[in-house]
Structure 1
Amino acid sequence: MALRFALDYPLMHWLLTDARRISDPKAFLAALAEQFLAHGIEVARLTTGVPILHPQVHSYSARWELGKGVSDRFFRLTAESVPVLENSPVKTVYSGGGSVRCDPTAPPREGEYGILADLRRDGMTDYVALSIPFSDGTSKLLTVATRRPGGFTDEEMELLEVMTPGVAVNLEVQALRLTARTLLDTYIGRQAGARVLEGAIKRGMGETIRAVIWLCDLRGFTSLSERLPRDALIELLNAYFGRMCAALDAGGGEVLKFVGDALLGIFPILDEDPAPVCARALAAADNAREAIAAYNAERAGTGEPRIEHGIALHIGDVMYGNIGGESRLDFTVIGPAVNLAARIEGLCRDLGRPVLLSDDFAAASGLPADSLGTFELKGLTGSRQIYAPPAEIGAAAARQS
């Protein structure tokens, strides 16, 4: 009882006070490990597991190891990962089977949890997967392992069970914040999502920034939508957008929105020389073009229609913030520079070029570009010089970025 009095109150008090101010899951886990060690509980390994709402990710997990610190990962359900999950305490806890305790010092036996081999290799003597109750009736996970001979004491096991509601309070808040962040990242973009989460949610709230504007469009979409079955059309759109988004993301760009078969993205220029940002944007466009070309080669073998597209790159000032109605907002960019990029992209089909550049972009990038002439752009006053990157420019841009 003396150990319980010495440990339960301080640890539970910490979980319900100071710990709640730690919003980062990795920082929380590191602090929890410090609390255990400070109270004489010789933990060597802690992990948390929290399913999250995400289109590709099943759950988030953080792991603390004595002498190594904290790492984390997003767990994706794949053909390889499903058997591992099935033969794991995680499955037992998530499915409502309660907490699980394993003895890694026992001889291996057929059908045992797969993690026991890793625990034996790491010298663990006791392992507990605690069922952490959330307010929605589901169970999440905290695992605790030690290398102490004899494992955890009865009093320590009692403490681990008693403290689970305090852990649940913290993990649930972290899970909600993590889910909100992943949903915002998924639906409005990584940088825009961070701004919204930080409180930039009022209509008209925004700022003027300089950015490279990326606008791409799928050619012949109306015809494709009439010819292709629904599932085939969705597969084509996902393949097209997936390759465009991957190229943008790899180049440091931000996908802002999809409008039908078009995509709007930006490469913000924040107190830096615009030339490297332009180079990254142009390299990303070249990577997207190559990815679509490779995909078209695959489709040719099955007789499927080609994906034709156009990409316009322009540089200019845009208003970056909230636009919309009182109850429905869009965090995006607007301004004459966006309109100009859209008009330039519309020339891709007429000029037979997959990538077109504005005169401002060509000048700011400092890269060689082929002038295609001067053009009147619909709805805009005056004419603009339009450029296209030579075939070798993609590689040059990649080197500069």
Structure 2
Amino acid sequence: MKTKVLVVDDEADLELLIKQKFRRKIREGVYEFVFAGNGQEALDQLQQHPDLDIILSDINMPVMDGLTLLSRLPDASAVIKAVMVSAYGDMQNIRTAMNRGAFDFVTKPVDFQDLELTMEKTAAHVQQLRQTLRAVQENNILRMYVDETVLNFMGRPGFENTLMASETVEATVLFVDICGFTSLSEVLPPADVVKMLNTYFDQMVKEIIAQGGYVDKFMGDAVMAVFRGEYHLDRAMDAALAVRTALQANESILPNGTAYHPEISIGINTGEMVSGNIGSASLKRLDYTVIGDTVNVSQRLQSVAQPGQIIITEATYQRVKESFQCKPLREVTLKNKAKPVMIYEVVA
């Protein structure tokens, strides 16, 4: 990878000398040099060449000296490193330069073999900084697509050797669906539909996270969230109530002039489920999720809920009846369930 170096010095013959001493490395694409006559010109060059890696700068220059340039570098670039050139024995300026962030220094008259070693060391450090910065940026982007729980799971020791491992956990699953949202695609441009959907999702996610839950997945216009740890059922119920309140406060005017108020239906179920990576290690496509009858029932409950309803089973009701206001509805037959299930609506 080519290293780009900015040489800052007011000596006119230095540019020619640098090009002569490093002509083979320049020809091989190892180094590329840019030149400036003082600190101000150097800052101008930094704006024109944001991919610079190293600054090789003299200290004593007109307009702006090397020490002033050093103090301005953090505002100009997060990764570029400076190597200062100073007269032999000028320890005061050298110490000042190092205190202002210089990576290294060389003394005059310049030993070009020593300078090349110093530049190689500095370039390696800058490359490492760039890789670290890129990893941080990629991690931040990854966090937009992958839940914190998954990232924590990936950070476990020996994670790569236990990709297909799973565990049984006690948790609560919440399914939220925006009722009738699909029909909006018939009257709104696709970009408007996506924008509106993301707005609603963002409101849901904030309430889910506020109660210590995490979003397992987005499915069309629905959200699946999981709550684990202490009081996971109570926190899921509080999140469901908060999500309903937040969504009901929205109003959008459709192209035909009518007002659209989003309604949601929610199903909640709690119990044992299997947590782990589901998918194919060979295909390198895995989904860290929860599965099991408890999860399936939660989705079935959401499917029988009417707009505005939060539906739970009788077993869940018995666990929360002292903390939440609920009312019995009816027995329903859920998909793949042999016996009817008594359902309750969570009111408050």
TM-score range, shorter chain: 0.5 to 0.7
Q: Which residue of 2 aligns with 1:240?
A: 200
User: 1:267 and 1:311 mapped to 2: Cα distance?
Assistant: 15
SS at match of 2:278: strand
Going from structure 1 to structure 2, the CA distance change for 1:237 and 1:217 (only over 3 Å counts) comes to: same
Q: Which residue of 1 aligns with 2:59?
A: none
Q: Which residue of 1 aligns with 2:13?
A: none
Q: Which residue of 2 aligns with 1:309?
A: 264
Going from structure 1 to structure 2, the CA distance change for 1:387 and 1:167 (only over 3 Å counts) comes to: farther
User: 1:260 and 1:212 mapped to 2: Cα distance?
Assistant: 21
Query: How far apart are 1:323 and its partner, in Å?
Result: 1.0
User: 2:80 and 2:315 mapped to 1: Cα distance?
Assistant: 54
TM-score w.r.t. the length of structure 1 is 0.56
Q: Which one has a bigger Cα radius of gyration?
A: 2
Matched, 1:192 2:150: yes
Query: How far apart are 1:266 and its partner, in Å?
Result: 0.1
Query: How far apart are 1:244 and its partner, in Å?
Result: 1.1
Going from structure 1 to structure 2, the CA distance change for 1:191 and 1:234 (only over 3 Å counts) comes to: same
TM-score w.r.t. the length of structure 2 is 0.64
Conserved 8 A contact 2:81-2:122: no
In the TM superposition, 1:284-295 aligns within 5 A as: 284-295=239-250
Matched, 1:367 2:320: no
Residue by residue over 1:56-114, the C-alpha shift from the partner in whole angstroms, topping out at 9 and shown as x without a partner, is xxxxxxxxxxxxxxxxxxxxxxxxxxxxxxxx99x9599347789xxxxxxxxxxxxxx
Query: How far apart are 1:245 and its partner, in Å?
Result: 1.1
Matched, 1:141 2:79: yes
Q: Which residue among 33, 53, 73 is the counterpart of 1:129?
A: 73
Going from structure 1 to structure 2, the CA distance change for 1:158 and 1:347 (only over 3 Å counts) comes to: closer
Q: Which residue among 228, 231, 235 is the counterpart of 2:188?
A: 228
Instruction: Give 5+ residue unaligned stretches, structure 1.
Output: 1-87, 101-125, 133-138, 394-401
User: 2:146 and 2:103 mapped to 1: Cα distance?
Assistant: 43
Conserved 8 A contact 1:310-1:355: yes
Residue by residue over 1:230-286, the C-alpha shift from the partner in whole angstroms, topping out at 9 and shown as x without a partner, is 1111112111211111111111111011122221110013xx4xxx32222222112
Conserved 8 A contact 2:79-2:129: no
Residue by residue over 1:171-218, the C-alpha shift from the partner in whole angstroms, topping out at 9 and shown as x without a partner, is 345435434543443223111122124354555322111111011112
User: 1:357 and 1:246 mapped to 2: Cα distance?
Assistant: 22
Q: Which residue of 2 aligns with 1:159?
A: 103
SS at match of 1:228: coil
Going from structure 1 to structure 2, the CA distance change for 1:94 and 1:358 (only over 3 Å counts) comes to: farther
User: 2:136 and 2:52 mapped to 1: Cα distance?
Assistant: 25
Q: Which residue of 2 aligns with 1:335?
A: 292
Instruction: Give 5+ residue unaligned stretches, structure 2.
Output: 1-42, 56-69, 83-91, 106-117
In the TM superposition, 1:44-123 aligns within 5 A as: 92=47, 95-96=50-51
User: 1:158 and 1:236 mapped to 2: Cα distance?
Assistant: 50
Going from structure 1 to structure 2, the CA distance change for 1:229 and 1:154 (only over 3 Å counts) comes to: closer
SS at match of 2:305: helix
Conserved 8 A contact 1:217-1:309: yes
Q: Which has the higher contact order (CA 8 A, sep 6+)?
A: 1
Q: Which residue of 1 aligns with 2:275?
A: 320
Going from structure 1 to structure 2, the CA distance change for 1:280 and 1:287 (only over 3 Å counts) comes to: same
Conserved 8 A contact 1:184-1:190: no
Query: How far apart are 1:347 and its partner, in Å?
Result: 1.2
User: 2:203 and 2:304 mapped to 1: Cα distance?
Assistant: 22
Going from structure 1 to structure 2, the CA distance change for 1:99 and 1:291 (only over 3 Å counts) comes to: farther
SS at match of 1:264: strand
SS at match of 1:357: strand
Going from structure 1 to structure 2, the CA distance change for 1:151 and 1:282 (only over 3 Å counts) comes to: farther
User: 1:225 and 1:324 mapped to 2: Cα distance?
Assistant: 31
User: 2:48 and 2:243 mapped to 1: Cα distance?
Assistant: 43
Going from structure 1 to structure 2, the CA distance change for 1:346 and 1:173 (only over 3 Å counts) comes to: same
SS at match of 1:367: coil
Matched, 1:387 2:331: no
Conserved 8 A contact 1:130-1:143: no
Going from structure 1 to structure 2, the CA distance change for 1:306 and 1:200 (only over 3 Å counts) comes to: farther
In the TM superposition, 1:196-211 aligns within 5 A as: 196-198=154-156, 200=159, 204-211=164-171
Root mean square deviation of aligned Cα: 3.7
Conserved 8 A contact 2:175-2:302: yes
Identity of aligned residues (%): 25
SS at match of 2:276: strand
Conserved 8 A contact 1:267-1:281: yes
